[in-house]
Structure 1
Amino acid sequence: MNNSQQRGTTERSQVRRSELIATGRKLFADTSYDALSMDDIAQHAGVAKGLIYYYFKSKRGYYLAIVEESVSDLVARAASDTELPRRERVERTIDGYLRYAQHHQAAYRTIVTGGVGFDTEVQAIRDTVREELIATIAEGAYGRREIPRLARLALLGWLSSVEGITLAWLADLEPERETVCALLVRLLRGTLAAIGEYVPECPAPEEES
């Protein structure tokens, strides 16, 4: 097989893999990991079960690939909109986080709760999301992604409360997402004010008029 043929085969494999992940994202959006068998997945994807094993080795490997792909959208969104005013960028990041949780509820619960038992790979995905969100909030508040440990701990505490509130909100999606977003932004302001008291090099951002 020449180089051109190899590239063509690789590209087709990447396309097929992406198609399987897209199907899985739809299936697992509101369905838990245990609720779908590989036979169910293959039937919905319109492929032989062996093809899924070929690309992902196992059901767990398939699910982790889906989770990684879906959260990459959230991380990319958090890192975008750098041209926006800092306050608006922070608010958009929080709203995007809630939108993701709303439209990928099963995956979100898996990430936040760690899946079944203690899954180190899911924990790694969760840590990646957390680190990017904290860095984005820090950049929006202070103009830099690296902050002192105490400030980071405070933002991590705020993010933990965000996760708890979001999980509770997903139970019935009440109140409206915009209201929950406003609440989380208000709680963030309180956290930033507390950071300013304890970490002089991270003063609370001035309110924009």
Structure 2
Amino acid sequence: MNNSQQRGTTGRSQVRRAELIAIGRKLFADTSYDALSVDDIAKHAGIAKGLIYYYFKSKRGYYLAIVEDSVAELVARAGGETDLPNAERVRRTIDGYLYYAEHHQAAYRTIVTGGVGSDSEVLAIRDAVREELVATIAEGAYGHRTVPPLARLALVGWLSGVEGITLEWIGGLAARAAAGAGAAAGAGADGQPDHAQLGALLVRQLRATLTVIAEFVPQCPAPPVPDGDLVPVTGSS
């Protein structure tokens, strides 16, 4: 746990801290870590820089709190609804993942790219969320979170592809929004897929990955394909 989480235990302090984290997500999405000073952050937030030190102790502590907060939200959305049947849970996981990326684009980029890049603690946070997502998919596919190394590598490879595809997708959404078409307009003349189409693609790719895993790792048989398995859940909120 980031030491900054020891600060701000009252309701008002928690709200203020959350507000600062939301501001930080936007600032670090548009500006590199090294290019922003605590003075810059305080100016953009309209606060005294002492508040940054009070809640987060340092700029690095502030940045780590932003990453940790983003990761917790992504994992919670992607890994929710554990009482569903396995196949449905997998689909919900993918849908929740895409919903988060679509509606929290700056935070998603921070999580996937590692933000600072050379900061080992930031990269460790990023790797931890990848491990959690792989375990969530494994549990949905096989009923348990731990799988043999070869199966795990295949799932990691699929997730790496998901990250690259999703980054490209939200980049297209941002470009569309900048052009005035609206980020949530769905697939249009520009050929950009909407949430449902991309979800269907990722589910199909996962199904193919699970089939290949079954060929190499007999103890991980491909789950049966239920009716509608290739159609993603949509309309998350």
> Could you tell me which amino acid in structure 2 is paired with residue 166 of structure 1?
T
Residue in 1 that maps onto 2:106:
106
| Structure-1 residue corresponding to 2:89 | 89
Deviation track 1:68-102 (CA, whole Å, cap 9, x = no partner) reads 11210111223320122222211121122122222
Moved more, 58-67 or 183-192: 58-67
Normalised by the length of structure 1, the TM-score is 0.84
CA distance in 2, matches of 1:95, 1:188: 13
Q: Aligned letter for 2:30? A: T
Identify unmatched segments of 5+ residues in structure 1: 1-8
Q: 1:89 to 1:204 in 2, by over 3 A?
A: same
When the two structures are aligned, how many residues end up with a matched partner? 200
Q: Is the 8 A contact 2:135 2:146 kept in 1?
A: yes
Q: Give 1:133's aligned residue.
A: 133
Which 4+ residue blocks in structure 1 deviate beyond 4 angstroms? 12-15, 34-37
* Counterpart check, 1:17 vs 2:35: no
SS in 2 for 1:172: helix
User: Quick check: which one's helix share is greater?
Assistant: 1
Cα gap change, 1:203 to 1:91, in 2 (>3 Å): same
In 1: Cα distance, 2:83 partner to 2:116 partner: 40
Measured after TM superposition, the shift of residue 32 of structure 1 is 3.5
Partner of 1:204: 222
Distance 1:37 1:208 in 2: 53
What CA distance in whole angstroms lies between the structure 2 residues aligned with 1:135 and 1:71?
A: 15
Name the TM-score, length of structure 2 as normaliser: 0.75
Task: Please say if residues 213 and 222 of structure 2, whose CA atoms lie closer than 8 Å, have aligned partners that are also in contact.
Answer: yes
Q: Does 1:69 align with 2:87?
A: no
Distance in 2 (CA, whole Å) between partners of 1:116 and 1:36 is 12
Contact map agreement 2:78 2:95 (CA 8 A) in 1: no
Equivalent residue for 1:179?
A: 197
Q: Which runs of 5+ in 2 are unaligned?
A: 1-7, 174-191, 228-237
Sequence identity of aligned pairs in percent?
70
CA distance in 1, matches of 2:151, 2:200: 22
Report the residue type matching 2:155 in the other structure.
L
**Secondary structure of 1:171's partner?**
helix
Whole-angstrom distance in 1 between the partners of 2:44 and 2:29: 15
